[in-house]
Structure 1
């Protein structure tokens, strides 16, 4: 069983004020902890930059300047910054602690959101980002990990429409990006799944770059996935430059066209085609949400009409959507007025002598009788009927059979081979939501619609479902977290949590996770069990080292500490009654009365003394020495052995003395 290394910062007092209590998350640039502000007695979030980001003195200066700018950014949807400083040479920020989940965690649980929920969250995101844009700040790293969703003040868990949304990490990416640009000629800092094309091509960013990233986040909330993926980050980044983001309704049927248009407007590759900043995009989102509410109201009225055969007054305007809170409207924006329903135009008739409907029918009847009275007219009518019949027959064949062909067999092919086969047949490929499969490799076609040999329009679209391969998850590093946070991290990866026995730990406070089995970064399958060990705090006793000591001395030392030795003998080259191993090892924390297992040497194997009588004394001396014994010749060393002590066939300890009597 592997043991994880504890975070050395846990329990540390930063700047004589902030006591670090637990680790919340670790990202690419910083680690976030929960801490107690011992001066104001409140819980805060402490973000400490990684040492790799803090080696550049110019970065430290930029980071400090950015922190001061962010601290002046006050908005209900922005995570507030309370303080900044340095600890052990590493810059840190003290921020508002938001009790809730990141949008990434919400999507991991819900997979995707309905349009109403997605637009409600996006409005608050854009309200925060637009406040930053007005202050001259560009976020540069808009993604679900930087969006916090707190519990709704007017609703229970799961009520996303009324939840309070806050955006974090304003300006942090800018400070890191500026430092990297000076050092190595430019480095793309934004997460590639959400990066704007202009950041990939020339490294510049403005408010429209944040609009693009917000559009990608909206796409992911609606579909449960980002628009592009690839084997390498650079492949994903360049897809933003080379391809248009698909409409969400192509992946999730039923998404309204007005929501598709929002995604298309925000994610245009040319920045000139996007809303100028988050405020402009927020205005479009609010208008779309009003339209979405109107469509829902009209649908409800139609359902009432179809369900009852009663006469109701003509509807002139749908019920207005409830007034939004102030954070969801731009400054000076009024409540949207109710929209009226237009009257359908009255049917019109051509300009005949008599412009009434009966007059029109009279004129048509008179012309028909005139044509049929002439033989040539009758032939023309007959020919026209024949031609129309042929047209209808050919059209019927074309619409019923002629425009169709059969779909090729693409299942079990790799993605590249399937695309090549479809292109040769003149078909277009679309992709459904990929699925995990234990037996099919990644990027191999699991299924197709229509099926092989099924009817399909010539040049039509074949929808493929690709395999994601075997579903595997890595055990996250949860050491230092509370049991509740660790459980949430593990369950998010579809792992079963087993509570192991609590352990004493001198570095981690009581109630925090000490280690897991399997250890962090171990690959697991969904449903695998992970044992979590929780700290009991500092142990009352520390086990002494007794290895190498005599058994009696070791036993007396342990008993004096209130510990119970358990003794077992093992074969060993050590002298008899020497302690060769102890469990637990020295330094381990235990309680009084704990059992300490001791392995004790039985001593080295004994040697059997051979018969030496009758041998020349010097030959007997050499034989005894070769057996690891000590010879002791007596009387005449140059004589013959006539007696020996110990006698022959007597087992003795190695290095024992053998007396040789020679004459």
Structure 2
């Protein structure tokens, strides 16, 4: 089945702009499509990152998407003729994608599959352009981390016909992609090795470190493969291949392809040292060595005998291999790299006799101008005009184009904008800051300062005030002093210890209170007093409620506490009965602490009604109706002749009354 027919992305529109036209390649980490940018009407390459490799659903992880976007922005700023340009990035159906320059050509892997190995001049030409791209990345602080033939594109010649690889333009792609994937998987994949094991540097295998020398090593392995047609190490498992980079030196290419010059063996050996410190410092340093090797091979004119084994017989001499130098001048102009020390573009280098011709022409011109009075007058006029132009130019560049910066300090934002507009200046604002003196939206700083020189119509940078800094005091009650102090100091507050006190609920050394209290508004630099707990006090206050005042007074004195003058309160309880206490029972106090009591002053007094001279039963009814118990003496059927307590006596409610009837 044609896999392109089953690809649901074909024909789809990404981000309302990129129409997918065809699939170029699919790998374990990404798929590359050709697409049409319908906004700019150009062909681009779209690389969509999927999750078939690594932890499931990685492409949907927010951490991966964020890291991928950050790397894409960094790569997009990397501009070099040998780097595949990145135009855009985003996500489609939860999968991140990159929009890149579309390069018509093949990958170096496809070239090697077809050719198996390359001639030394072709291998060095491709390596030179690869290193030029990676060196640009190293200067920008980027490390590729995954240099391999699959990430090297060999562009077609502009003529469209077959071309020697020496004339081809090489472009490197996928800068930063391995770093973005690795960063997104560290927390859940055991810090996987995100590199191709055939080209991985030893330090990436042993401790995961990657730097410019890591890319140097991988480039050396790619050069080895171009020269020999194979990678140096093979194995049944990827981990076995990776550890061979750690344990073994890369063999010399001439041991596999007899007749290769010694300079190429030395170049590969220098780039693939197991110790990173023994390699060239970065791609730029290795590029210098590659160019030196090219020059050395081109100047040596040495024919190296190639020996090829013949079946069932000894090795016989074969035609010699001539290694030609690869010079930029032999390439088409579109494929040339800049030479070190080359003259700037557009500057014509004078021929040996140009100076003589120029001197002759200047002499003739001088004779013609100064030979008559009109010529001399013209020369004088030109000199005067040039002098005036020079004077005006000097005045303009030295004084005339400048103005004086206005004083904007302490103005409100609106006042500053009006003042700047009056002088024709532009304002920009930095992050505001708090200020104790200048109110909110007032100017606290300006650059350039007032009265300084500034270009007419220039830009003045202002910093506005947020007003005085005020914030609620953090609540540190219940924290140990060290933690409370750290919280308060981080809020730019000064901390002082107050007098410690006992507390029934908080252990010793814990904050029981602050002055001012938590939540009160404070400003940076305020002094906060922290009161610590001494733990529970040694004396426990007993329960005194319900006891007689005299009994409570004796118990308080026995504990070494001090009874404050009791407070009397009306109550139905008997007089001198304790109604309440402070501190509450069970509280811890120290010796000599004061105890306050509320004491009943007894129920309210009522007047005894007069029942004398009333019939005995009627008098009883009157007293009982008002809550007095009645005791009758003598004859219940007679009249009341006396009562006790007497009439109008003030007695507590319920006091018994005795009446005598006869």
- With the shorter chain as reference, the TM-score category is 0.3 to 0.5
Bigger RCO (CA 8 Å, 6+ sep):
1
Normalised by the size of structure 2, how large is the TM-score?
0.46
